[in-house]
Amino acid sequence: MAATDHLVIFDTTLRDGEQSPGATMNKAEKLRIAKALEKLKVDVIEAGFAIASQGDFEAVKSIAENIKDSTVCSLARVLDADVDRAAEAIRPAERGRIHTFIATSPIHMKHKLQMAPDEVIEQAVRAVKRARSHVDDVEFSCEDAGRSELDFLCRIIEAAIDAGARTINIPDTVGYAIPEQFGDTIAQLLNRIPNADKAIFSVHCHNDLGLAVANSLAAVTNGARQVECTINGLGERAGNASLEEIVMAVRTRQDLFNVDTRIDTQHIVPASRLVSTITGFPVQPNKAIVGANAFAHESGIHQDGVLKHRETYEIMRAQDVGWHTNSLVLGKHSGRNAFRTRLLELGIQFDTETELNEAFTRFKALADLKHEIFDEDLQAIASDTLHDEEPGRYGLVCMRVNSETGVMPNARITLMIDGKEHTVEAEGSGPVDATFKAIESLVDSGCNLQLYSVNAITSGTDAQGEVTVRLERGGRIVNGVGSDTDVIIASAKAYVEALNLINCSSLRRHPQVADV
């Protein structure tokens, strides 16, 4: 192995991550995440599946127009219409990639595609050639490679490389692989495919057995030079390999991996926070690298060791991944210019002065309540403002909640519904229950509450609470996120946002269903 090969970091938070139930993001949110990924210096940003809907197409195009330092990629099935739509969406990009895929496992070919293996090869070759007629940078994936036959993988990959694919991706789509075996598959493919040296081999591992990162690293040891991953491991079902874990593993154990990435690791924690705030998927406290406890030393023995010599119990420095960059940025007396400048530094740009003014008003109100405003608070203000720019059917006008020992909590709430104010009162087992019951007594949504979670955005008792509410109706799942220094108000905001999302979320094509 060469001294230090470059390991391409391909981030698919905006595509596979968004396939997580409820993680749907709008165009402005996707652009904010894309800018955070560019700052992180990921090599390739998979911005979406352009043919899924008009909204997805617009989001990929807007990312292609705005991102300069990362390649912007769109996913496409092997259909002509998919490939052409992907090409159109990434056209403005300085560097654009089309990523086309078809399933290669016996079970997918027989039951999902209902195609003979030779037909699958023919479709793959056609799609790669068509993609190459648009761009030089074409990636081909063998969906469900983890359960595909090695001989068939060798045949289809050789044909795809001959047709012009420059990256070959081996996905473990259902998270079935085991590290030693998956690493061996990569080694065999590299050894047996005659034109393997003409492409970069990539892996894309799902986490159904909790092995996505381990499988990806085994693949790197055996010659893979691109890893597909997501921030916080977001993704379908149990998620994808987590970017932060892959990057820090190869960096911390360079003695074993001999690969380098371009990632500016100090931006990892801010990117993780941003993805969590936007999607409403909280990060578990004991999550490696980005969990709140990842660098906290609870036991006295560990604390003693760390104080004497940090490396007794720490293999990475918290600052290197962006912890403790939580500096006080703005306060009560900060002006509009300082506010705008800091937002720009965070990659937040409003389309209109009205939006900026509204965000500034929110900032002033918050600064009156909590005095110290951190980057995380600014991100939450930006999210609230951008959501308000897409008015839904429902809006929270005002609320009052009574909570007293020995008395049933009561909520009085005024909602705007289709432009008209309605006020109602309800009791509940707690203040949040009373609030949600009051809202439901007005809207009668028929939704099931699947998740309610509260996180503090920053530390201290004056911190804003960030609430996620996940609602389900007819199989459709959405996450609403609300923030406020009062967690009951944050809960109402999150519930109202989820109701608006479930009413307006339109049907999109899913890339991995069979309509090839």
What are 218's two structure tokens?
């085994």
Under the criterion CB under 6 A, does residue 171 sit at the interface with ligand KIV?
A: yes
What are 205's two structure tokens?
């591992």
Shortest Cβ distance from residue 105 to Zn ion (Å)?
Answer: 14
Q: Which of these ranges, 14-22, 75-83, 211-219, 403-411, lies near Zn ion under the rule CB under 5 A?
A: 14-22
C-alpha to C-alpha distance for 123 and 516, rounded to whole angstroms: 10
Shortest Cβ distance from residue 335 to ligand KIV (Å)?
Answer: 46
- Measured from the CB atom, the residue of 112 and 126 that comes closer to ligand KIV is 112
- Measured from the CB atom, the residue of 51 and 439 that comes closer to ligand KIV is 51
Specify the DSSP element, H or E, that contains 488. helix 487-504
Under the criterion CB under 6 A, does residue 410 sit at the interface with ligand KIV?
A: no
**Which of Zn ion, ligand KIV, none interacts with 141 (beta carbon under 5 to 8 A by kind)?**
ligand KIV
Q: 434 burial class (0-12, 13-18, 19+ CB within 10 angstroms)?
A: buried
Fill in the per-residue mask, 243 to 282: x = in contact with ligand KIV (CB under 6 A), - = not in contact. ----------------------------------------
Residues 6+ apart with CB under 8 A from 188: 150
Residues 482-511 that bind ligand KIV (CB under 6 A): 511
Under the criterion CB under 5 A, does residue 16 sit at the interface with Zn ion?
A: yes
Residues 94-153 that bind ligand KIV (CB under 6 A): 101, 141, 143
C-alpha to C-alpha distance for 232 and 14, rounded to whole angstroms: 12
C-alpha to C-alpha distance for 62 and 110, rounded to whole angstroms: 38
- Please identify which residue in 24, 173, 202, 261 interacts with ligand KIV, judged by CB under 6 A: 173
What are 387's two structure tokens?
């959501």
Residue 240 is assigned to a ligand binding site:
yes
C-alpha to C-alpha distance for 365 and 328, rounded to whole angstroms: 17
Residue 206 is assigned to a ligand binding site:
yes
Q: Characterize the bridge pairing of strands 44-49 and 8-11.
A: parallel
Give the interface size with Zn ion as a residue count (CB under 5 A): 1
- Measured from the CB atom, the residue of 101 and 350 that comes closer to ligand KIV is 101
Give the interface size with ligand KIV as a residue count (CB under 6 A): 10
Residues 6+ apart with CB under 8 A from 219: 170, 182, 183, 186, 201, 203, 205, 227
What are 229's two structure tokens?
């991953």
- Measured from the CB atom, the residue of 50 and 401 that comes closer to Zn ion is 50
Residues 6+ apart with CB under 8 A from 140: 99, 100, 101, 124, 127, 128, 157, 160, 165, 167, 168, 169
**Which of ligand KIV, Zn ion, none interacts with 497 (beta carbon under 5 to 8 A by kind)?**
none
- Measured from the CB atom, the residue of 16 and 484 that comes closer to Zn ion is 16
Shortest Cβ distance from residue 227 to ligand KIV (Å)?
Answer: 13
Cα separation values, 321 from 247, 376, 378, 397, Å: 10, 16, 20, 40
SS3 category, 224: coil
**Which of Zn ion, ligand KIV, none interacts with 511 (beta carbon under 5 to 8 A by kind)?**
ligand KIV
Residue 36's closest CA among 243, 238, 250?
Answer: 243
Under the criterion CB under 5 A, does residue 139 sit at the interface with Zn ion?
A: no
One-letter amino acid at 189 equals L
Fill in the per-residue mask, 204 to 233: x = in contact with ligand KIV (CB under 6 A), - = not in contact. x-x---------------------------
Q: Which of these ranges, 12-20, 26-34, 49-57, 343-351, lies near Zn ion under the rule CB under 5 A?
A: 12-20
Main-chain dihedrals φ then ψ at residue 205, nearest 5 degrees? -110, 135
Give the chain's radius of gyration (CA, Å). Answer: 24
Are 171 and 146 a contacting pair, CB within 8 Å? yes
- Measured from the CB atom, the residue of 17 and 164 that comes closer to ligand KIV is 17
Q: How many CB atoms lie within 10 A of CB 197?
A: 8
- Measured from the CB atom, the residue of 121 and 174 that comes closer to ligand KIV is 174
**Which of ligand KIV, Zn ion, none interacts with 101 (beta carbon under 5 to 8 A by kind)?**
ligand KIV
Binding residues for Mn(2+) are 16, 204, 206, 240
Binding residues vs Zn ion (CB under 5 A): 16
Binding residues vs ligand KIV (CB under 6 A): 16, 101, 141, 143, 171, 173, 204, 206, 511-512
Binding residues are 16, 204, 206, 240
